[in-house]
Structure 1
């Protein structure tokens, strides 16, 4: 389904997503709008670039994997997504940008939220001179026992 057809099927989403992208300082290109629709039209989620690329292809959105990576990083820089780096080669993007922590289910290569009240951080170190702490990420790695 093309972006135009999606906007016609959900008239309130097209203009709303355009406004969100503009307010974030991003030009609402056809591809950014289509990716924003995939990311933000449903419940909160965690996604990596390859997963989003597959969803885009299944939805009929013509977009390269490089454009997906670029868009995800632009959305993150604009404050629309939170990046969760599980290792040097793998990042997930979270549509919930509030402070919270995650399980990384190693067997499934999947991220899941940890309930907010499940982790207590007693203190964090002072940031080096001229810097400030922007957020704290706790990733608890788990795998199935059977």
Structure 2
């Protein structure tokens, strides 16, 4: 955390351990809060929200907006894309090498493209 410019507080450390202990994941604020409560980490939903946004600003995780107001936090900060399974609210990684992106419009003056995030929405086949 210090390398990312964050002070390693007790709550940040506990949330980071929960967040990163299981490999690459996609979690909502509410899901991480539930995990924290189950692990006896005394933390409010607001603290989880603030901590995840601090981790995002520090480059430790990425934000993935999928379903309107639903936001997932992705522990995999490498270049990649996503499948989103509708009805299950499940997010899966797609390696960047599996998608070719071309003909991007030029960024407005004074701006640069930081990354392109493709989300492919999936649903169960209808019989």
Q: How many residues align?
A: 126
Misfit runs of 4+, over 2 Å: 115-118
* Length-normalised TM-score, structure 1: 0.82
Bigger strand fraction: 2
Deviation string, structure 1 residues 108-142 (Cα, Å, up to 9, x no partner)? 11111113332111231111000111000101111
CA distance in 2, matches of 1:116, 1:90: 23
Bigger helix fraction: 1
Match of 1:124 among 100, 104, 110: 104
Report the counterpart of residue 5 of structure 1 in structure 2.
none
Q: What secondary structure, in the 3-state scheme, does the structure 1 residue paired with 2:64 have?
A: strand
Gap runs ≥5 in structure 2: none
Report the counterpart of residue 72 of structure 2 in structure 1.
92
Alignment of 1:23-38 (within 5 A): 23-38=3-18
Task: Indicate the RMSD between aligned Cα atoms, in angstroms.
Answer: 1.1
Gap runs ≥5 in structure 1: 1-20
CA distance in 1, matches of 2:125, 2:2: 47
